[in-house]
Structure 1
Amino acid sequence: MKPPYEITPTILQLITAISEKLGAVNANLVSRPSPLLRKENRIKTIHASLKIEGNTLTEEQITALLDHKKVIGPKKDVMEVVNAIHTYENLQKYNPTNEKSFLKAHQNLLKGLLVNAGTYRNQNVGIVKGSKVAHVAPPAANVPFLMKELFEYLKSSNEIVLIKSCVFHYEMEFIHPFLDGNGRMGRLWQTLILMDKYPVFEFLPLETLISKNQEDYYNALAKSDQLGKSTVFIEYMLGIIDASLRQLLDFNNRTLTDKDRLDYFVSLHKTDFTRKEYMNMFKDISSATASRDLKKGVELGLFQKIGDKNKTSYRVLIE
């Protein structure tokens, strides 16, 4: 059964804008950001997603935990971050269309924080905002069937992925299948659905923009609840995706330094290559600039130089 939503002019405009930016991402070598940018974005993603749920740790503390250092903070908050780091470092292991994989991700995110993490709730719940009940979730007995239907939509619908990811996010939040962790699971799973088709979404911190104005996020959910369809939430999330891609392109439209080029080239996991192949990757640099880059790469221990003169080639030394 297809979840209810409409395709509005706003949705069509946003899809066009996002598609253009995704094309620019591929054309400008941004589909695999440098290792440093990937790490920064992962820290921002974890910080923002957990901050929305009330976690108090800072980006600096999350960086320390990512580097396996101890930090001082509430035990629950530290455990949430440790679990999130493990989950986000293993995103490739989850199958976005597989319900068992979905439950495994929840188990990993809520390990040690929630009894029976990784299983659907067995009691009825409501979401309270202030003194009012903002949302009454479907009865617990209906959750397994509703989630099975939602995954069936995800697998069988011919709708474009950008829209399906938003629909899944909203519908999962509406069903509220877990006693805790629904918000972070909705945001995580939308990322997984998107990155299955567009790998760059692994490195896009969508949660950062959501956390900057959480009220818009909750208002979009509430408005969709009132209307009985996810149209408003689709418009909201597509706007977040568009803004995230714009930020990524703005960052990468700067003039690349030799370090930027070397970081990017190493991230491609090539083995042996020539200066010509390096220049084909960065078409706006001269042969002299390429030679200086490669010399620096050798000095930094990134590459090994093999041969001499016109028979020179290079071998990548680090993964």
Structure 2
Amino acid sequence: MQKIISSRTGVIIKQPTGYSAFIPHKLSENSFKLKKDSEYETLLSEASIALGELKGITKIVPDPDLFVAFYIRKEALLSAQIEGTECSLDEIIQVEEESKQFKPVHEVVNYIDAMNYGLERLKEFPMSLRLINEIHERLLSDVRGEERAPGEYKKYQNWIGFPGCQLHEAAFIPPPPLMIAELMGDFEKYYYMSDESPVLVKAAILHAHFETIHPYADGNGRLGRLLITFILCQRKVLESPILYLSLFFKENRQTYYDMLMNIRFKGEWEAWVKFFLRGVRNTSQEAVQTASDILALFKLDREKISNYLAKYQVAFPCYDLLCHHPILTITRAVKELDSNYPSIKNIFDAFIKLGIMDPYDKKERNRSFQYSKYLELLRRGT
């Protein structure tokens, strides 16, 4: 094989079949050091403080599981949207309400399932290549890419470029299949290496390196972003998956892709790490603000119920159900609360008069109603 170009990150080598693939240096053997200037130190400090404030939010909210559940949905949705999946938060909620799925929504539901599965497994077992394969299999089950060996490393050369481009038109050709097992073995080794890198910096490096290896035929971007959450939770930087960093990547999608390319061909690790830290800071601050706004809304609406509907025993249980299912039918509320149709309809009518709820659709039967102000807060960025 003929070496063509070399950088801090890796080398481009011509393969026997004629194309040139990028072969990253092994992280565990790489001697390069990040250049740490004042901007780096400031961003690392600001990101750490913002993430600490976000971590603290779950300790003061009355129902932390509610926040975690919706923040997971938001991260899953945003990560899928980066890949071009056309789907909305409302559709995710309605899937749960109606138990119906179509392909784009299924991709997001799989992401949620893969995240929950990975986090549960990490409570008992360390991160491993086997676990990464298991998570990948869940991610691609019955969706786009399902025919491309979910849970197994790629068997054929893949590439990155514009939709429909051929190998010779690719913007980036990752390592060939025969090198993946070795490179992923090194990925795992570096994951557990003791070094001086702060966890946030190590997460940034591991994410970029995973995307460069591109070990699977499909789903690499979504899995690479999932790994960020797993790293932060396993290293106890976060106690629950409440950082939807994909919001920042989506809002800066082209820069995100450009940064990853510049790592490969120009060795610009410092710029990437700063970009990543800026994303952690900004997203943490946004998530804290959203949580504060949601808490204020809940407080206001609970006061309305206390002032006007306290005599109705089912009023607060119905409101709590609405918080967990902000698109809700009377039929479901009757079933969930073990109540009757007239009682729940009266509460829904009262919620509408108080400005808490309004109709979501115009169906004649089994109409859905929405907690619209709450949904507006949850939809931010999506």
For the aligned residue pairs, the C-alpha RMSD in angstroms reads: 3.3
- Equivalent residues of 2:51, 2:280 under 8 A apart: no
Shift of 1:28: 5.5
Gaps of 5+ in 1: 264-298, 302-319
Specify whether residues 48 and 28 from structure 1 end up closer, same or farther in structure 2 by C-alpha distance, changes over 3 A only.
closer
Q: CA deviation at 1:56?
A: 1.4
**Contact kept in structure 2, 1:97 and 1:155, CA below 8 Å:** no
Query: What is the correspondence of 1:55-66 to structure 2 with a 5 Å cutoff?
Result: 55-66=85-96
Is the alpha carbon distance of 1:23 and 1:85 closer, same or farther for their aligned partners in structure 2, counting shifts above 3 Å? closer
- 1:126 partner SS: coil
The match for 1:235 is 274
**Bigger shift: 26-35 or 7-16?**
26-35
Residues 1:117 and 2:146 aligned together:
no
Cα displacement string for residues 216-243 of structure 1 (whole angstroms, at most 9, x for unaligned residues): 1101111111213533222211111111
Q: Does the Cα contact within 8 Å between 1:66 and 1:85 map onto a contact in 2?
A: no
Q: Which residue of 2 aligns with 1:216?
A: 255
Look up the match of 1:244.
283
Distance of 2:42 and 2:96 partners within structure 1: 38
CA distance in 1, matches of 2:294, 2:109: 36
> Percent identity over the alignment?
24
Flag the structure with larger Rg: 2
2:109 matched residue in structure 1: 82
| Residues 186-224 of structure 1, C-alpha deviations (whole Å, 9 max, x = no match) | 100011101222235501211122112311110111111
Deviation at 1:65, TM superposition (A): 2.2
Aligned to 2:172: 135
Quick check: 2:180–2:215 contact (8 Å CA) kept in 1?
A: yes
Write the mapping of 1:1-319 to structure 2, written as runs, cut at 5 A: 1-3=28-30, 4=32, 6-9=34-37, 10-25=39-54, 34-67=64-97, 69-71=99-101, 73=102, 75=103, 77-95=104-122, 97-112=127-142, 113-129=146-162, 132-158=169-195, 159-196=197-234, 197-200=236-239, 202-228=241-267, 230-253=269-292, 300=316
Tell me if the contact between 1:165 and 1:190 (Cα under 8 Å) persists in the aligned partners. Answer: yes
In 2 relative to 1, CA 5–52 (structure 1 residues): closer, same or farther, beyond 3 Å? Answer: farther
Contact map agreement 2:161 2:170 (CA 8 A) in 1: yes
**Distance across 1 between alignment mates of 2:214 and 2:55:** 36
Shift of 1:69: 2.5
Counterparts in 2 of 1:101 and 1:7: CA distance versus 1, 3 Å: farther
Tell me which residue corresponds to 1:270. Answer: none
Letter in 1 for 2:280: I
Residue 150 and residue 20 in structure 1: after superposition, are their counterparts in 2 closer, same or farther (change >3 A)? Answer: same
Partner SS state of residue 128, structure 1: coil
User: Any conservation in 2 of the 1:31–1:200 contact (CA below 8 Å)?
Assistant: no
In structure 2, distance between residues paired with 1:28 and 1:37: 9
Aligned 8 A contact 1:42 1:205 in 2: yes
User: What CA distance in whole angstroms lies between the structure 1 residues aligned with 2:157 and 2:198?
Assistant: 33
SS in 1 for 2:192: helix
Deviation at 1:176, TM superposition (A): 0.6
Amino acid at match of 2:187: L
